[in-house]
Amino acid sequence: MSESVAVFGPEPLQQIAVDFAAKVPGQSSHEFSQVKQTITAVDGSVVDILGRIAELAWVPKKGSHYKYAYRLHTQFEVLRGVPNRIDVTSSTPKEKADEHAVLAATLEPDRCYLKDRGYAKFTLWNDINALGSTYVGRIRDDSIYDVVQQKELTEEDIVEEVLSDQIVTMGASSRPGEAPDHKVRIIELQATLHTSRGKYKGGSTGHSSGGKMRLATNMLDAPAELISKLYRLRWMIELFFSHGQDDASLQSLAEHQTKRR
């Protein structure tokens, strides 16, 4: 396979990857047995490998970024430890390469999508809900919504550092057709205080946090503490991007789930 690129195009390899992925045995997890859908983390990562190669031919950078790079829009089945699809676009997240657009075009029914705040778009939520799938995603700290129902917290919720569990209405100021067309639940969690310093030594220190994390979901009946644990599973896709499919690391993260960002 390593020499296949000199013989034929990538399309046959794509099907081979799909076939191999289907043979990977599923990972059972009693803790998430209540979720009857395939738990799927979604994210995009920019790779500049071709840019590095081109740099040898004196292709200049634009600021601190390579002109020639790709974004890998990845959907990752966290309990199996494998990506179920990767869509490649240009690195600039605009138009068809926008993360919302790529995910909206590749949605499937019967999945539970775990998303970071970059995917917090009402129309995308509507598309997921219309297919019969669910989502759990972080929203901005300054998101505006009206509380319709305050749900009582259980002891398990409190142990999981859940601060509030509410049914809300959102998008009052949105244009017609762009507000959520279904009930939305907001779960507020305790989080570490953090002040963003922007780019730092070539990376990002992330968004500021006032000590609370807010998750939006259309899973109205699942325990709040389960929603919190589901979102923590999303970080397995970050581990995949950073270290590849290291089975021991993935299994350890799935079992312990001790880190929340």
Model pLDDT for residues 129-143, shown as the tens digit of each residue: 999 999 999 999 889
The angle subtended at Cα 255 by Cα 80 and Cα 135, nearest 5°, is: 60
Q: Place 157 in a pLDDT band, splitting at 50, 70 and 90.
A: very high
Q: Which option is the CATH number for 4-256: 3.90.350, 2.60.40, 3.60.21, 1.25.40?
A: 3.90.350
Does position 147 have pLDDT exceeding 90, yes or no? yes
108, two tokens: 């499937």
**What whole-number distance in Å separates Cα of residue 40 and Cα of residue 226?**
15
Does position 113 have pLDDT exceeding 80, yes or no? yes
CA distances from 3 to 8, 54, 55 (A): 9, 21, 24
What mean pLDDT, rounded, does the chain reach? 78
What's residue 256's pLDDT?
42
Residues sharing a CB contact under 8 Å with residue 238, sequence separation 6 or more, in sequence order? 43
Does position 201 have pLDDT exceeding 60, yes or no? no
- For 224-237, the pLDDT digits (tens) are 999 999 998 888 88
184 with 176: CB under 8 angstroms? no
User: What ranges do the domains of the chain cover?
Assistant: 4-256
How many residues can be counted in the chain?
A: 261
- Residue with the bigger pLDDT between 107 and 14: it is 107
What's residue 258's pLDDT?
39
What's residue 261's pLDDT?
38
Average pLDDT over residues 160-167: 96
Residue 56 exposure: Cα atoms within 13 Å on the Cβ side: 5
- Predicted TM-score of the model (pTM): 0.73
DSSP labels, 80-121:
TTEEEEEEEEESS--GGGSHHHHHHHH--SSEEEEE-GGG--
Closest among 197, 191, 228 to 210, alpha carbons compared: 191
Amino acid 129 reads: N
Closest among 215, 205, 117, 79 to 160, alpha carbons compared: 215
